[in-house]
Structures are given as C-alpha cells and as structure tokens.
C-alpha cells in the first residue's frame, strides 16, 4: 500500500502522522496558521466558474468558500487521512455530522443498511428512527459476531454495512476483514466508526471503505471541542461536497478553522495519551476482575474478542481507554458512580470519553437510552452497566484504591 505522496504506507499510525506534518505557519512558525476567512478571492473572473465546475479546487490551491473548503481544516483532514491510512479525509462539525453525511451520501431513498446491534445511541436512533421516516432508508440490526446472520441480512438494495470497531458501550470488537469481505461480496461499502479505537486499530488497513470519527473524544482529548471526520478515498470525499448532491456541502456541517487548529495541535501527543489511557484502563479492568466484577475490556484474556483484537491491533497502543463493569442493577450502578465521584474524587459522572480525567456513565439510561428495551437486551446492555473512560490523572495506586473502594461500597450496599 502507498500513501498519497507515493511512499510505502507505514504500519504505525503516529509514524504516518509525523510524516504528514510538514507545514509551517504563515511566518515560519512551528504551528500552522489559522485561516479564518469564510470567502476567498480570485485574480481573474474566469477562475470562479472553473472552481464551481470542479476543474479547479483546493488541491490546486484555489479556495472558494469556507463551507466547501478551508485551508486550516484541510491540513487537519490531511493528518487524519494519514492517521487512518486513507488517501483523503474531510472534517465536520461533529461526529454525528460525519456519520449522517456518509450514510446520506452512500444511500438514497429506498436503500437498505445492515448495522451492528450495539452502536452509539445517536447512530442507532439515526438508523432506526430518523432515516426510515425522513428518507425511506431502512436498517437491519444484527449481531456482528454472527457472520451468517450478517450475510443473511443483506438485500438487493443494501448499500452499507455499518459498525463500530469497538462497540459503544459493549466493547465487542468488529471482525473488520470478515465484514469487509461480506460487504464487498454484496456490492456494499463497509463504514466503520473508529471513535473508540484511534491508533489501536486502523480499519482501512483491514478492508474498511470509509472510517468516521467523533473527534470530540480521544483525538481532541480535552472535552472542549465537538468535531468529526470522514476518512476515505478521494472519490468518496469529493462526492461529499458535490455542489448538487454532496450531503456535507448541502447540509452544511462545516468545521470551524479555529477548532481545526486546536485539534491539529493535539494530534502529536495522541500516541502518548492513548498509551496511558490504555494502560490505566487495563489496570482498572484487572483490578475489577480480581474483585470478582463482571468487567469487559478487550485487553483482558477473558474478553470474548480478545484474540480478534490482538490480531487487528497496531502494536504499542494497548487495547484502548474504555472498559465497562456490570453492577447488575441501575441502583448499584448509581451508587458506584456517586461514590467514585462524590466520595473518592476518582472521576466524573459525565457522558463522552477520551478526557484526561475518568468519565463514567450508565449507558442504558444515558448514551444508549435511545434503544428500546428489546434492543438493549439484544445488544447486551444491562441497566447496571457502567462505562468508564479511563483518564490518566492522579497516581495509579491511589486510583486503583479508590476504584476498589467504590466497587466494594456499591456491591455491599
């Protein structure tokens, strides 16, 4: 495989990122400059129709309008393409903008999607409620671990197979090579949400056609920006901003260049952060398992997809920053989180993930509350399941002691 500059594709995502980061600021600054302009000039009137007709464009240095392309946002997109080993990328105002944009681009009214039954609640609602009603795009939800069920779910009008690399919040791992083969056999695209596994898994290297991210999470890492991206080949990316049919061009969820700058400046330390998120998550999972808790973490040998994760992962970044523990009931889950936040200062009860501090939420009543009871049960999301996004603040020994006290307090109550 080759990168966009024709070099052999490096296996390590941070090495690819380092090779892609070669711009300077406007005055030779070590940071890139922020181009805030919403509109751009041309020197000759004839250039404008050429840009509108797509004969000239940002790749040739011709910018037109900020919702179309912005130079600072494009720099970030290029880095994200390098990270995800895709030829091209496009940044959006949120993860949901990226997800809805690619789905509306790949599917037309009357088309069909096959998707995993465990997905972020917003994505699930988009597929289950919004798209059928607003656009006549139907989805069949299946257990992605059952490849026969996935195969049987395809119809003649299936355009997309959709999954999360590591599913929110079950942490089940998608068999991306097998899913890509099935999608391609049926003339469909495999779209993968890699929000939970940046660096640890590179879906495009295993056959995914389109990779989406909520940059709001680990990639930005400071819980201060909402952003997203689509990583894919140039044809897919170009079609997203087609003047007549491009879903992102016409629905307009453009990323602000100031946000792009912030995210770009945090990319160089993504590798260091992910290693520490993963190390903490593994230590927390091991401690909870030793206490007899029902814990899920792809880095534990007891995880049903541990072998699969090991086969797919890039070495050196661990098994990611998320773990879950099932306390059995919603009451115990609440007790556990309240003790850890209000008594121990271990972390925060908050949705989202990928922050420097630990974030905890009971998925069934928060970020998966869009799923009805049957769908929650089918996905394996119990009312007592607490998702933890492991932060890296505080001393690990103190954190482990706090976590242990929280678990004991919740389970003995």
Please state, in angstroms and rounded to a whole number, the distance separating the CA atoms of residues 322 and 144. 20
Tell me: does residue 256 bind ligand PLP (CB under 6 A).
no
Tell me: does residue 228 bind ligand PLP (CB under 6 A).
yes
**Minimum distance from residue 281 beta carbon to ligand PLP (Å):** 16
Binding mask 147-186 for ligand PLP (x = CB under 6 A): -----------------x---x------------------
**Minimum distance from residue 386 beta carbon to ligand PLP (Å):** 15
Nearer to ligand PLP, 213 or 339 (CB): 213
Nearer to ligand PLP, 42 or 125 (CB): 125
**Token couple for 27:** 């005055």
Q: Which of residues 196-215 bind ligand PLP (CB under 6 A)?
A: 196, 214
Residue whose structure tokens are 């995800």: 84
Stretch near ligand PLP under the rule CB under 6 A, chosen from 12-20, 33-41, 63-71, 193-201: 193-201
Stretch near ligand PLP under the rule CB under 6 A, chosen from 93-101, 151-159, 179-187, 262-270: 93-101
Find the binder of ligand PLP among 56, 84, 111, 193 (CB under 6 A). 193
The burial of 352, by beta-carbon neighbours within 10 Å (0-12 exposed, 13-18 middle, 19 or more buried), is given as middle
Tell me: does residue 195 bind ligand PLP (CB under 6 A).
yes
Nearer to ligand PLP, 88 or 168 (CB): 168
Tell me: does residue 96 bind ligand PLP (CB under 6 A).
yes
Nearer to ligand PLP, 253 or 406 (CB): 253
Nearer to ligand PLP, 221 or 406 (CB): 221
Nearer to ligand PLP, 158 or 363 (CB): 363
Tell me: does residue 92 bind ligand PLP (CB under 6 A).
no
**Minimum distance from residue 286 beta carbon to ligand PLP (Å):** 24
Please state, in angstroms and rounded to a whole number, the distance separating the CA atoms of residues 211 and 376. 25
Tell me: does residue 218 bind ligand PLP (CB under 6 A).
no
Tell me: does residue 95 bind ligand PLP (CB under 6 A).
yes
Please state, in angstroms and rounded to a whole number, the distance separating the CA atoms of residues 413 and 411. 6
Binding mask 353-382 for ligand PLP (x = CB under 6 A): --------------x---------------
Please state, in angstroms and rounded to a whole number, the distance separating the CA atoms of residues 286 and 292. 10
Find the binder of ligand PLP among 20, 72, 216, 368 (CB under 6 A). 216
Tell me: does residue 324 bind ligand PLP (CB under 6 A).
no
**Minimum distance from residue 346 beta carbon to ligand PLP (Å):** 21
What is the size of the binding site for ligand PLP (CB under 6 A)? 16
Enumerate binding residues for ligand PLP (CB under 6 A). 94-96, 120, 122-123, 164, 168, 193, 195-196, 214, 216, 226, 228, 367
């Amino acid at each position: 495989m080759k990168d966009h500059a024709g070099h052999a594709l490096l296996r390590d995502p941070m090495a690819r990122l380092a090779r892609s980061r070669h711009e300077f600021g406007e005055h030779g600054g070590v940071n890139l400059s922020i181009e805030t302009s919403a509109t751009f000039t041309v020197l000759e009137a004839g250039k404008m129709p050429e840009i509108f007709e797509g004969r000239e464009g940002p790749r040739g240095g011709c910018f037109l309008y900020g919702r179309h392309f912005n130079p600072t946002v494009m720099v970030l997109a290029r880095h994200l393409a390098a990270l995800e080993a895709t030829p091209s990328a496009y940044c959006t105002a949120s993860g949901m903008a990226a997800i809805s944009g690619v789905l509306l681009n790949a599917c037309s009214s009357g088309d069909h999607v096959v998707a995993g039954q465990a997905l972020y609640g917003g994505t699930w609602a988009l597929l289950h409620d919004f798209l059928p009603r607003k656009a006549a795009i139907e989805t069949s939800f299946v257990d992605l671990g059952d490849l026969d069920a996935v195969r049987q779910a395809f119809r003649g009008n299936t355009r997309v197979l959709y999954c999360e690399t590591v599913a929110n919040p079950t942490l089940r791992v998608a068999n991306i090579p097998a899913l890509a083969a099935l999608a391609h056999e049926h003339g469909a695209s495999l779209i993968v949400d890699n929000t939970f596994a940046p660096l640890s898994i590179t879906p495009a290297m295993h056959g995914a056609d389109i990779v989406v991210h909520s940059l709001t999470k680990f990639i930005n890492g400071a819980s201060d920006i909402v952003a997203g991206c689509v990583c894919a080949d140039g044809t897919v990316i170009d079609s997203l901003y087609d003047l007549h049919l491009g879903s992102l061009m016409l629905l307009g969820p453009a990323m602000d260049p100031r946000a792009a700058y912030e995210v770009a400046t945090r990319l160089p330390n993504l590798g260091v952060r992910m290693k520490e998120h993963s190390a903490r998550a593994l230590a927390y999972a091991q401690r909870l398992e030793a206490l007899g808790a029902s814990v899920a973490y792809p880095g534990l040998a007891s995880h049903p997809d541990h072998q699969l994760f090991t086969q797919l992962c890039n070495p050196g970044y661990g098994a990611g920053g998320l773990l879950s523990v099932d306390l059995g009931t919603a009451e115990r889950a609440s007790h556990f989180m309240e003790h850890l936040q209000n008594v121990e200062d271990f972390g925060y009860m908050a949705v989202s993930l990928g922050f420097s501090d630990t974030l905890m939420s009971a998925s069934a009543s928060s970020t998966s509350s869009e799923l009805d009871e049957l769908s929650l049960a089918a996905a394996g999301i119990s009312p007592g399941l607490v998702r933890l996004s492991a932060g890296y603040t505080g001393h690990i020994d103190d954190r482990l002691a706090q976590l242990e006290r929280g678990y004991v307090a919740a389970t003995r109550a």
